[in-house]
Structure 1
Amino acid sequence: MVIIEKAILHILDFAGGTPVLSAQELELEQGTREFLVKHVEKTIGSQDAKTGKFYESSEFSSHLAAYQEGQASFAEFSQQVANALYQPLSHAEDIECADLFVCQIRVDDTPQLVLFKCTNNHGYVHQVNVAEDGSVVTEVMNSYGLLPNLSQRMEEFAYINLDTKEVLIKAKRYSIDGNKVFVLPELLLECAQSPSPNETIKEISKAVKKVTEAYCQDQVEAAAAVKSYIAENLQPDGQLDPQEVGMAVFKDNPSMQADYRQEMENSGFGEPVVVNQEATLKKMRKHRLSTDTGIELVIPTEFFENTEFVEFYKDDDGFMSITLKNIQNITNK
């Protein structure tokens, strides 16, 4: 359950050269509350978000502690946050005006501080005017301050557990003075980041493909083995150990296991991560194939190695064939 306790909105006006900082919290009427709750529900379980931990020298962490000790009001603390975010972003290339929501919430009784940064959307709205003769005139106008609607996701966000100080972050890179920087975690929060669940799964697939290529093995079969292992062995708590995946996929070849392990360690993805079990299993249960002739297939992972349903083999001329078996009916979609 999500409860919005406090919220405030600041405008990061890079065109005007200064942020527009609110001195008062938002009135949490039904529309505002619904907007914030929906976006919390959409982002807090994001598989693209990374976990983080504050550096000991983090100024943000110090300001947060001062706020929790009552040395600053919520509005004053949020203004500090907005200013600290505005300063580096104002030097970024091609930066667009944005809004910053700072919220204090509870998620299942856990207190959290939430930052939502969203670039202003452009869109068209209607406007009603009254002419000099008193007649009503309607027109279409281009609006430049639209917030993301409820079907969209916030571009960047951070959740800070106010009890444990654990951080969950999704951030974009910006080009500042020729350097690519994750402004939200690196310059505002000043915290370390761990790989996201989605990044880890992608890196597992990438490492398996690289090792398989090096040993001239079947890449399609190896990719299917990754999905099969995850689908069958994902822990109830969602924990996924990348090293165990490699051990299983290359179980008959210690050299390939060692090379895979080295690939994962070199890329910084060697540690276990917690994934969304439902979303991950949904992805792992199907294997998508695309041939060079333009044919695409979606095969349930559980059938991939079952020759009663699907069989792959190479012809004498070097071409590959796929046979689908035991089909009673085919439906157009």
Structure 2
Amino acid sequence: MMINKAVLHIFDFNTNVCVVSQKDLDFSSDVVYEYVSKRLNRIIGDAAQKTGVFYATSAFQMKLQALADGTMTFDDLASQTARELYQLLAHCDEPESTDLLVIDFQDDDDVRNVGILMLENKTAYTHQILDDEGTVYNKLIKHYAILPGTAQKADAYALIRLSDFSIHFVDKKRKMDGEDVYLLPDKLLQCTSVISSKEAVKVVSKIAEKVAEEHGASTVEALSKAKTYLVENAETADSFSPQDLGSDVFGDSPVLQREFEEQIKEAKLPEAVAIEKEYAQKAGRSHKIKTDTGIEITFPSEYIENTDFIQFINNPDGTLSIELKNIGKIVNK
């Protein structure tokens, strides 16, 4: 990744002022470049990203096209975006002071991208050194415009590839005239919104657990099989099919499989959900359970079908026993 340019604009709703910067950030300062690059690296590949496609009438896509064609400069795009977003935030029921970071960068495929990051200001305490006629003293003050740290992800951002105008974004719900809106996809970008891989995994996992529970099947087995499917599927594909996941989890029961398929249709999940291999492996690697007796166990998801290591036994009195096998060593953590 290579960052070409970046500019920071300020939306201060304590004083109702929009400060549009007339200069780019100075990357000769290591501190500035470090902050921008860390902010960008923090969101690239984020599993919480939704994807979108510009509507044919999107004015923002026309601006991006002009940028790609060279008929609009990056600085003009950034300043116009800042003014438009400020007006949108000003019409929200509870506008929050925000810094807008707009970035022009090349991704790892050397494709030009535009990043739009909304960095909500935080309130924090700091010190101030004062001099009163030769008497030096320290004072505690409250600062109302602290940027989020580099370890935090931006609450709202969009990344757009200029080669195909594909959109990846994260946004949060806001109130505008009492109605719920997502400013980035609904107002600024004017694009569609497709569920993120993180949300999709969460939804299919909940449905698998619910279907298993309602039919008296093992929820532990259902969730572990779902996770194993995600890991194995990620080895050969960059997306997964919720329907295929259900077939894999409930393949032995046509009734449960049909119920699962009906519920994923009700949830309006797409036929294929894009998922990064790294996230699929992280989400599906292990399964954690907690018993009503307070015991917690974490085990590799694929072990659910291998009774050489762990076995769940239904007792005659309705209780459940868990047997751990072939343990050579126990380490305290």
With structure 1 as the length reference, what TM-score do the two structures score? 0.93
After TM superposition, the structure 1 = structure 2 runs for residues 182-221 of structure 1, keeping only pairs within 5 Å, are 182-221=182-221
Q: Which moved more, 1:83-92 or 1:155-164?
A: 83-92
- Cα displacement (A) at 1:95: 2.8
- Cα displacement (A) at 1:199: 0.9
What residue is the counterpart of 2:170 in the other structure?
Answer: 170
- Cα displacement (A) at 1:237: 4.4
- Cα displacement (A) at 1:305: 2.5
What residue is the counterpart of 2:284 in the other structure?
Answer: 284
After TM superposition, the structure 1 = structure 2 runs for residues 77-96 of structure 1, keeping only pairs within 5 Å, are 77-96=77-96
1:307-328 superposed Cα distances (whole Å, 9 cap, x missing partner): 2221211222211111222223
Q: Aligned partners of 1:67 and 1:24: how far apart in 2?
A: 18
- Cα displacement (A) at 1:242: 1.5
1:72-104 superposed Cα distances (whole Å, 9 cap, x missing partner): 433332121112212222232333201001111
After TM superposition, the structure 1 = structure 2 runs for residues 1-333 of structure 1, keeping only pairs within 5 Å, are 2-29=1-28, 30-108=30-108, 109-133=110-134, 135-333=135-333
Alignment length, in residue pairs? 331
1:219-269 superposed Cα distances (whole Å, 9 cap, x missing partner): 121111111222233234432222211111111222322222222222121
Q: Which moved more, 1:300-309 or 1:290-299?
A: 300-309
* Aligned 8 A contact 1:236 1:277 in 2: no
Stretches of structure 2 that go unaligned for 5 or more consecutive residues are none
Equivalent residue letter for 1:259: E
* Aligned 8 A contact 1:19 1:83 in 2: yes
Q: Which moved more, 1:306-315 or 1:153-162?
A: 306-315
For the residue of structure 1 that corresponds to 2:48, the secondary structure is coil
Stretches of structure 1 that go unaligned for 5 or more consecutive residues are none
* Aligned 8 A contact 2:42 2:151 in 1: no
1:10-35 superposed Cα distances (whole Å, 9 cap, x missing partner): 11122222322112222222221221
Q: Aligned partners of 2:77 and 2:101: how far apart in 1?
A: 12
For the residue of structure 1 that corresponds to 2:119, the secondary structure is strand
Q: Aligned partners of 1:235 and 1:54: how far apart in 2?
A: 31
Equivalent residue letter for 2:3: I
With structure 2 as the length reference, what TM-score do the two structures score? 0.93
- Cα displacement (A) at 1:70: 4.2
